[in-house]
C-alpha cells in the first residue's frame, strides 16, 4: 500500500463514522423515543469526539507531508484538496474554542426556542452576543488575517466571498422588490381550500419522489416536524410532513428533499465513503433541491400532470382547470416567514439575513441593535412592519447554533438553479411535453450526468459552470422569475 492508500483507508473509516453520526441525527428526528434525548446527547457527543480526534490525528500530518499531490490523477488530487483543507481547518481552531462553541450553542438553541415562544428578543440577545463573539474568534482563527465572514462562508461554499455575493445580491434586490410589488398589486390566484387526508398525501408524495428519480432501495421516506434529507451514498433518507389543509406543503417539501437526496444518491459510486462522496457545497445542494422543486416541480407543464394526480387522489378540490391550478401553486402572498416564502420573495428574506450577519461579524452592527435593523430592512423590502419577534429576527434557528455564512447559500442555490435550468431547457428537447406527462427522467438524468455524479470533484462554481456553460450570474434566475410571474399575473 502506498501512503496515499493508507490515508484513503483512514479517510474511508472517517467517512463511514460520519455517516453513522448522520444516521443518529435522522433517528433522533424520526424514530427515537422521546425519553431517550439525554442519553442520545451523550451518544452524539461521543461520536463527535471520535470524529474530531480522527480529523486532527497526528498520522494525518505525516501522511499529508509525505504525499506529492502532483503525482496523483485528477481524482486523487481532488481527494487531497478536500483532505488537506479539512485537516487545516481542524488544526486552526483551538480545541478549547471548539468545545466552548459546542457548549454555548447547545445552550443558546434552547434559549432561542424559549425566547421565540415568549416573543422576548431581550432574553435571547445576551447569549447571541456570546455566540457571535465566539464565532468571530473562530472566524479569525480560520481567516489567517483575511476577512472573517469570508472564512465562515468557506465552510459552506468553498471559494465564494462576501463581496461576490453582495455584488450579486445587490443587483438582484431592486428587481425582486419591483417584481414583488407588481405581483402583489395584481389580481391574486385563488388559494387552495378543502381537506386532504394525510395518508393520501403520503401516498402521492411517495409517487412524486420516485417520479423525480429518488431510489427507494437506497432511501426511505418518513414523517418529521421539519423536512430534511440525510446521508450519502447508498443510504439517503428523506422526511416530509403533512398538513391536511395544505397539501402543497407536503408535496413541494418532498420534491425539495428529493432534490437533495438524488444529488447524494447519484454521485459516482467510485467516490463512496470518500471526501468526494458528498454534495460539494450547500449552494450546489440547494440548486438541486430548488430546481427540482421550482423550475421543474412548479412549472406549468409539470403542475398539469400533478393536477391530474391530485384530482385522482382527492376528487374535486375546488380548482377547475390545470391553468388555475398552476396559478394557485405559484400564488404570491404577503408573509413574514422565510421558509414559507414563494419564489418571488424567498431571496429577499435571505439577503436581509446575509447583510445583517455580515454586519454583525464585521462589527458594523451590534447584537443589541439587531432587532431594529431587521425590522427596518423588512419594512423597506416588504412594505409592511414585522408584528412580533417570532415573525422577525427570532424566526430562524441558524444564528443560535452558530451558523453564520450559511444563509447566503440558499439564494446562491437559486442563482445556480437559474443557470442550470437555462442550460437544461436547451439540452433536453421536448422537456415541456415530458413534464406534462409526468416524465422527469431526461431532466433528472441530465442533472445527474452533468452535475450530480461529480460529487466533490470540482469546486462549487466550477461544477455549475461546467454543467450549464454559463459564468455565474443572477440573470437567468431573474429572467425566469420575471417571465414566469409576469405571465401568471399578466403584468
CA 308 to chain centre: 30
Query: Taking the complex as a whole, how short is the minimal distance between the CB of residue 190 and its own copies, in angstroms?
Result: 39
Pick the closer one to its own copies by CB: 27 or 118: 27
Query: Taking the complex as a whole, how short is the minimal distance between the CB of residue 219 and its own copies, in angstroms?
Result: 6
Residue 421 in contact with residue 412, Cβ under 8 Å? no
Grouping H, G, I as helix, E, B as strand and the rest as coil, residue 370 is helix
Q: How far apart are CA 232 and CA 223, in angstroms?
A: 19
**Measured in Å, how far apart are the chain's first and last C-alpha atoms?**
66
Q: How far apart are CA 237 and CA 192, in angstroms?
A: 29
Grouping H, G, I as helix, E, B as strand and the rest as coil, residue 281 is coil
Q: Is 454 annotated as a binding residue?
A: no
Using CB under 8 A as the criterion, which residues of the chain lie in contact with its own copies when the complex forms? 12-14, 16-17, 19-20, 23-24, 27, 31-36, 38-40, 42-43, 45-47, 49-50, 215-220, 233-235, 237, 272-273
CA 167 to chain centre: 21
Residue 140 is a catalytic residue: no
Q: Is 195 annotated as a binding residue?
A: no
Active-site entry in 257, 264, 357, 371: 257
Pick the closer one to its own copies by CB: 57 or 246: 57
Q: Is 256 annotated as a binding residue?
A: yes
Pick the closer one to its own copies by CB: 15 or 295: 15
Query: Taking the complex as a whole, how short is the minimal distance between the CB of residue 267 and its own copies, in angstroms?
Result: 12
Pick the closer one to its own copies by CB: 39 or 193: 39
Q: How far apart are CA 445 and CA 448, in angstroms?
A: 5
Residue 411 in contact with residue 169, Cβ under 8 Å? yes
Query: Taking the complex as a whole, how short is the minimal distance between the CB of residue 216 and its own copies, in angstroms?
Result: 7
Which of 344, 349, 348 minimizes the C-alpha distance to 393?
349
Pick the closer one to its own copies by CB: 216 or 366: 216
Q: What is the DSSP string of 40-75?
A: HHHHHHHHHHHHHHHHT-HHHHHHHHH--GGGS-HH
Query: Taking the complex as a whole, how short is the minimal distance between the CB of residue 31 and its own copies, in angstroms?
Result: 7
Residue 447's contacts (CB-CB under 8 Å, 6 or more residues apart) are 262, 288, 291, 420, 424, 467
Compute how many other C-beta atoms are within 10 angstroms of the C-beta atom of residue 37. Answer: 10
Query: Taking the complex as a whole, how short is the minimal distance between the CB of residue 257 and its own copies, in angstroms?
Result: 15
Query: Taking the complex as a whole, how short is the minimal distance between the CB of residue 93 and its own copies, in angstroms?
Result: 21
- To 10 degrees, the CA torsion angle through 440, 445, 450, 453? 120
Pick the closer one to its own copies by CB: 23 or 207: 23
Q: Sheet harboring 229-230: ordered strands across? A: 221-223, 237-240, 229-230
Pick the closer one to its own copies by CB: 32 or 198: 32
Residue 284 in contact with residue 464, Cβ under 8 Å? yes
Dig out the grid coordinates for 161 from the structure.
Answer: 466571498
- Residues of the binding site: 256, 260, 286
| Residues taking part in catalysis | 257
Which residue ranges are tagged as binding site for Zn(2+)? Answer: 256, 260, 286
Amino acid at each position: 500500500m502506498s501512503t496515499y492508500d493508507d490515508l484513503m483507508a483512514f479517510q474511508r473509516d472517517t467517512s463511514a463514522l460520519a455517516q453513522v453520526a448522520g444516521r443518529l441525527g435522522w433517528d433522533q428526528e424520526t424514530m427515537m423515543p422521546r425519553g431517550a434525548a439525554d442519553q442520545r446527547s451523550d451518544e452524539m457527543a461521543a461520536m463527535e469526539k471520535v470524529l474530531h480526534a480522527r480529523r486532527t490525528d497526528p498520522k494525518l500530518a505525516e501522511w499529508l507531508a509525505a504525499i506529492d499531490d502532483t503525482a496523483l490523477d485528477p481524482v486523487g488530487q481532488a481527494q487531497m484538496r478536500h483532505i488537506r483543507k479539512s485537516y487545516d481547518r481542524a488544526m486552526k481552531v483551538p480545541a478549547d474554542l471548539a468545545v466552548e462553541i459546542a457548549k454555548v450553542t447547545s445552550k443558546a438553541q434552547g434559549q432561542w426556542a424559549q425566547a421565540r415562544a415568549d416573543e422576548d428578543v431581550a432574553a435571547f440577545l445576551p447569549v447571541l452576543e456570546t455566540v457571535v463573539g465566539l464565532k468571530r474568534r473562530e472566524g479569525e482563527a480560520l481567516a489567517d488575517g483575511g476577512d472573517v465572514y469570508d472564512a465562515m462562508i468557506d465552510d459552506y461554499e468553498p471559494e465564494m466571498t462576501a463581496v461576490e455575493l453582495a455584488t450579486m445580491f445587490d443587483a438582484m434586490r431592486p428587481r425582486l422588490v419591483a417584481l414583488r410589488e407588481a405581483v402583489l398589486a395584481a389580481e391574486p390566484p385563488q388559494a387552495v381550500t378543502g381537506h386532504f387526508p394525510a395518508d393520501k398525501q403520503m401516498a402521492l408524495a411517495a409517487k412524486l419522489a420516485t417520479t423525480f428519480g429518488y431510489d427507494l432501495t437506497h432511501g426511505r421516506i418518513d414523517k418529521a416536524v421539519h423536512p430534511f434529507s440525510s446521508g450519502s451514498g447508498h443510504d439517503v433518507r428523506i422526511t416530509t410532513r403533512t398538513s391536511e389543509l395544505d397539501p402543497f406543503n407536503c408535496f413541494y417539501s418532498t420534491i425539495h428533499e428529493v432534490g437533495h437526496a438524488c444529488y447524494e444518491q447519484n454521485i459516482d459510486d467510485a467516490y463512496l465513503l470518500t471526501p468526494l462522496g458528498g454534495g460539494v457545497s450547500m449552494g450546489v445542494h440547494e440548486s438541486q433541491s430548488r430546481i427540482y422543486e421550482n423550475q421543474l416541480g412548479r412549472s406549468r407543464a409539470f403542475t398539469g400532470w400533478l393536477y391530474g394526480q391530485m384530482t385522482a387522489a382527492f376528487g374535486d378540490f375546488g380548482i377547475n382547470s390545470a391553468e388555475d391550478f398552476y396559478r394557485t401553486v405559484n400564488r404570491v402572498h404577503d408573509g413574514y416567514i422565510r421558509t414559507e416564502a414563494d419564489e418571488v420573495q424567498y431571496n429577499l428574506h435571505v439577503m436581509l439575513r446575509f447583510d445583517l450577519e455580515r454586519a454583525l461579524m464585521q462589527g458594523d452592527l451590534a447584537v443589541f441593535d439587531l432587532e431594529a435593523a431587521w425590522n427596518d430592512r423588512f419594512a423597506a423590502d416588504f412594505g409592511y412592519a414585522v408584528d412580533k419577534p417570532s415573525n422577525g429576527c427570532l424566526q430562524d434557528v441558524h444564528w443560535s447554533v452558530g451558523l453564520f455564512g450559511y444563509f447566503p447559500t440558499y439564494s446562491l442555490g437559486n442563482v445556480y438553479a437559474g443557470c442550470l435550468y437555462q442550460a437544461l431547457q436547451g439540452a433536453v428537447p421536448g422537456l415541456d411535453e415530458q413534464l406534462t406527462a409526468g416524465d422527469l427522467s431526461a431532466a433528472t438524468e441530465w442533472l445527474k450526468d452533468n452535475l450530480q455524479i461529480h460529487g466533490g470533484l470540482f469546486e462549487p462554481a466550477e461544477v455549475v459552470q461546467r454543467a450549464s456553460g454559463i459564468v455565474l450570474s443572477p440573470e437567468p434566475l431573474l429572467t425566469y422569475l420575471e417571465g414566469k410571474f409576469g405571465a401568471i399575473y399578466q403584468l
